[in-house]
Chains A and B, each alone.
Chain A
């Protein structure tokens, strides 16, 4: 690319656009400064705007789970095509080094100046700040078959998700041997991470599906405002926040009672591509929209309250009918109705243009949830929601996957050593 004045102004524009993210991220860094893990640190003084925060790559848990949800997502699922355990291991080593460098705002390690060789880094994030990038890896159930000698390391909780009510799953948007979740406050930084790992994996893995997300739909930090989903509602108000240590231990982190000690401190990622029937939803009258969720659209307060964070009163009735309907989304998904079970949601809105068959928008929620056992958490919840949720009239689940996310890496450790033991 030409080193030109217009090239420079484009870069300036990009970082300028990320300035809002920077303010948010700085606030977040302050918000979590009391934690034992440093989730953010100030930008290098050389940074010229944008979000220069760096989220620590190594630690007890992988970044990108309870760390503050960034604004953008690039997610990819891969299938392993090599038969060689050594090749897979070598790729995971290369991925570790590249992911760590990228989260620090550096380029993928390797040569960059030999004019006769392609640069090791593809370059589109050059000059952009770290943008709070997190790169989170997960392993699908199929990886633990007989191909790579991993059958003995398969956790009992890592089973293909069962068929669930309301499924309209497409095989080309589901499953995968491995996943990479890259989140950042700059979409180009997130995409750059996935693209470069895919490149390093060429010949070892092929991308099975990928998804970009453009607006976080959950908060994981208590200082973050609850965002709205594409239906215009605040959803996930009661999500687990990063400072709820007890709730995280009880619901998200795999404990020492696991059948596979290598997963202690890890978590299970469920991804569901939930398409919204946008056109139908947009013509539903306001009171019905509010009954579907059980919240007021404008304030986000439960129908029994006046403020967003008021605890819903599921007992309150208006005559012989409950104020929050029996089939309202927040009732069916509430911990009160599910034996206290909570999940950590970290989803993003998506759009993939239009549905070629109908011309309608293909948009919705790319739902991501972390939990310490998908059987007792997501599967149990979705069995109930898929059967009874009023929302079902307006959504369909078109993609699905489950991955085991190992714990964070210790100093000097790589994803290869951690997986293969």
Chain B
């Protein structure tokens, strides 16, 4: 994972499109209106951050484009405002220290939301959007393709989490049995079906930190749980003492992920942005070897991030081809470049120890990922 705070911030960068997940959930057909520049007819809502809280004004607006203007007057411990739909952050403005202000805009469908400002006395205020849900997208064929993409990606998510449950089972069982060798062998493969859908897990706030935090992401090491806690026990401590409960918690947290994912439907633009995030994960921690620093199994994660991105791209590709066929073929070619560049590091069913990959080789991999991620970052706007 990336550091918890930054991972969350990144997912919200798709704020405008994240909103449509709410629509999909509420059963309405959706229109991902991501072309809006935030100007024009936006309804303004002001939020003042104080030590006591962050009450939006007005607390109820009509559906449509809404611009939240956030000001921190004097709250030294509070520096961000988040808009939540359930537990999912769909928009936010952060790093607002006293005296600063900022804004964010999104298109909101009718429903009940909350404004949250961590570290304030009352850190959550209700926010209501009234009116009727927006009408279906005007282009029926694009709409049908979007629905197909959402459905296909939903199916992929369900399948990946099922495989995550299945591949984590022998890993946690080996931990509980105190079988270090078996647990080591199961570690890399157990992670791949998590890494392929990691941005989705990150969108559930606390779930990614408990499953995938690295020691640097944790304030208090005694509360550290998840894959990397077990990785350290296996490769560095060479002891599984006390790890049974960590294994049980991992099993439970993965089960929780499975139940949450069952309800998730993503719109094409969100899927495309998720693909970019997956590649950013590669660049941020896999290429550097920071992710699996004890086991050096980083290439399992690297490959899984890329495979997850490729799957996401594949489901939105029919929509992209309607908008920009050249971009689609460029991205296809660059996916091939990245996957081809990984092949020399194959070892049996798995991957070589990442510590054997030289700095020069790592740089080539990183450059190929950047070459892919740049054009991929333009897809969301074209399929939304």
Indicate whether B305 reaches chain A with its CB closer than 8 angstroms: no
A4 contacts B102, C-beta separation under 8 Å: yes
Residues of A within 8 Å of B38, CB to CB, are 113, 115
Known: A2-B95, A116-B381. A206 touches B16 (CB 8 A): no
Residues of B within 8 Å of A6, CB to CB, are 99-100
CB interface residues, A 100-153, toward B, < 8 Å: 111, 113-118
B105 contacts A115, C-beta separation under 8 Å: yes
A2 contacts B96, C-beta separation under 8 Å: yes
CB interface residues, A 68-82, toward B, < 8 Å: 81
A3 contacts B101, C-beta separation under 8 Å: yes
Indicate whether B236 reaches chain A with its CB closer than 8 angstroms: no
Residues of B within 8 Å of A384, CB to CB, are none
A116 contacts B384, C-beta separation under 8 Å: yes
Residues of A within 8 Å of B371, CB to CB, are 81, 202-203, 206
Indicate whether B370 reaches chain A with its CB closer than 8 angstroms: yes
Contact of A2 among B101, B380, B381 (CB under 8 A): B101
Residues of A within 8 Å of B269, CB to CB, are 116
CA gap between A124 and B37 in the complex, in Å:
20
CB interface residues, A 179-208, toward B, < 8 Å: 199, 202-203, 206
Residues of A within 8 Å of B37, CB to CB, are 113-115
Most chain A CB neighbours (cut-off 10 Å) among B99, B105, B367: B367
CA gap between A89 and B331 in the complex, in Å:
18
Indicate whether B172 reaches chain A with its CB closer than 8 angstroms: no
Contact of A5 among B16, B100, B370, B372 (CB under 8 A): B100
Indicate whether B86 reaches chain A with its CB closer than 8 angstroms: no
A114 contacts B35, C-beta separation under 8 Å: yes
Residues of B within 8 Å of A4, CB to CB, are 96, 99-102
Residues of A within 8 Å of B87, CB to CB, are none
CA gap between A115 and B273 in the complex, in Å:
12
Per-position 1/0 for B345-384, Cβ under 8 A of A: 0000000000000000000000100111011011011001
CA gap between A31 and B95 in the complex, in Å:
47
A-B CB pair tally, cutoff 8 Å: 67
Chain A residue, CB-CB nearest to B269: A116
CA gap between A206 and B35 in the complex, in Å:
31
Chain B proximity of A103: nearest CB distance (Å) = 23
Per-position 1/0 for B68-91, Cβ under 8 A of A: 000000000000000000000000
Chain B proximity of A209: nearest CB distance (Å) = 12
Residues of B within 8 Å of A114, CB to CB, are 34-35, 37, 381
CB interface residues, B 255-299, toward A, < 8 Å: 269, 273
Chain A residue, CB-CB nearest to B102: A2
B35 contacts A116, C-beta separation under 8 Å: yes
Per-position 1/0 for A233-271, Cβ under 8 A of B: 000000000000000000000000000000000000000
Chain B proximity of A172: nearest CB distance (Å) = 9
B377 contacts A115, C-beta separation under 8 Å: no
Contact of B367 among A113, A116, A206 (CB under 8 A): A206
Residues of B within 8 Å of A7, CB to CB, are 100
Known: A2-B100, A3-B103, A4-B102. A117 touches B378 (CB 8 A): yes
Chain A residue, CB-CB nearest to B39: A113
CA gap between A116 and B33 in the complex, in Å:
9
CA gap between A114 and B269 in the complex, in Å:
13
Chain A proximity of B367: nearest CB distance (Å) = 5
Residues of B within 8 Å of A116, CB to CB, are 14, 16-17, 32, 34-35, 269, 273, 380-381, 384
CA gap between A92 and B273 in the complex, in Å:
28
CA gap between A1 and B102 in the complex, in Å:
8
B374 contacts A117, C-beta separation under 8 Å: no
Most chain B CB neighbours (cut-off 10 Å) among A5, A111, A199, A202: A202
Chain A residue, CB-CB nearest to B371: A203
Residues of B within 8 Å of A118, CB to CB, are 377-378
Residues of B within 8 Å of A203, CB to CB, are 330, 334, 370-372, 374-375
Q: Which 7 A-B pairs have the closest CB atoms?
A: A2-B102, A116-B34, A203-B371, A117-B381, A113-B37, A4-B100, A202-B374
The 17 listed contacts between A and B (C-beta, < 8 Å) are A1-B102, A3-B101, A3-B102, A3-B103, A4-B102, A5-B101, A6-B99, A114-B37, A114-B381, A115-B15, A115-B105, A116-B380, A199-B374, A203-B330, A203-B334, A203-B370, A203-B374
| Contact surface of B with A, Cβ cutoff 8 Å | 14-17, 32, 34-38, 93, 95-96, 99-103, 105, 269, 273, 330, 334, 367, 370-372, 374-375, 377-378, 380-381, 384
5 new A-B pairs (CB below 8 Å) besides A2-B102, A115-B36, A116-B16? Answer: A2-B100, A6-B99, A116-B273, A118-B377, A202-B374
